[in-house]
Structure 1
């Protein structure tokens, strides 16, 4: 009998997939912003022209509601997955990055004001995201190998896990907690 492939809930796959697209875009655009505007600890060999602060901010605006939904999922339906340290650390880094980003003022970087505490927290979150994504991927591969990693990419959905079932899944979770 062949081994059973792991199954990830469709809502988790959707939210996680959106994060997989947006987080690297935020991270890379943040690197360009840092390199172009700050660069105290290194910069690209050349300045990449463009309104990178605005581009990075746009990615952040897109990430904000998805990160909120992902965090709500993680703290409710996905709570058991937070027992894995790499998953919990990834969520903490995401919250720090999005939270500090929401508190940032884009005029600070444009005017060279690099000493704000919130900006320092945002840079720290940027470094944490890089480290935690590597840790998270390594932990997934160590825990379940390619089968677990590829289960996040599956497009098939079980009969009881279609989008129309998501509200009842959330409702059931809350009823169990009451």
Structure 2
């Protein structure tokens, strides 16, 4: 494995890949739902799918089940990829590499928050609201907001990834090779160490 390319932990690659795939499918179907039953701001010619709400709900539920694993990883082993205590101070260094890295970390953090908002509000919605034309519910408005923020952050996340790490960083997220210390055999040991450390 070439060390000239950035190396990403194998567990991060797996969690990131599964979450990204399901999130993108949920985003696509969420727009399809919006396009079918709302469309107040934008509407395009998409074919009508009778159970599009159920399909979106399936992806949403899958995302709800797998996203906590990525969140736990991000706030513990991947914490350096999120907002840091000195992030605001580093934002004053406009144009410097650390400024771009800081923006990338902020976007990563906002993505996790937006995903959480979308998941929580989605669980509070009722499937009959939109087919009945009931677009005024607060939970629906918040759910829509969560998906819009998440979608925007996803595009910015990709652009920032290219900016701070180039195409090599993107490619590194799809590689399957790993170092001996990153072996899946050691994952449970790391989890046990984390649980033991957090005991009062």
Please give the TM-score of this superposition, normalised by the length of structure 2: 0.81
Residue 53 of structure 1 corresponds to: 53
Distance 1:94 1:49 in 2: 25
Residue 124 of structure 1 corresponds to: 145
Conserved? CA contact 2:5–2:168, under 8 Å? yes
The correspondence of residues 7-86 of structure 1 with structure 2, limited to 5 A, is: 7-83=7-83, 84-86=105-107
Distance 2:57 2:19 in 1: 16
Please give the TM-score of this superposition, normalised by the length of structure 1: 0.91
- Alpha-carbon distance, 1:177 to partner: 6.1
Unaligned runs of 5+ in 2: 84-104
What is the SS of the residue equivalent to 2:178?
Answer: coil
Is 1:149 aligned with 2:193?
no
Unaligned runs of 5+ in 1: none
Aligned counterpart for 2:128 among listed residues 84, 107, 117: 107
Q: Deviations over 1:100-144 (max 9, x none)?
A: 111211121122211111100111112111210111111111111
Larger fraction in helix = 1
Residue 138 of structure 1 corresponds to: 159
- Alpha-carbon distance, 1:72 to partner: 1.3
Equivalences, count: 177
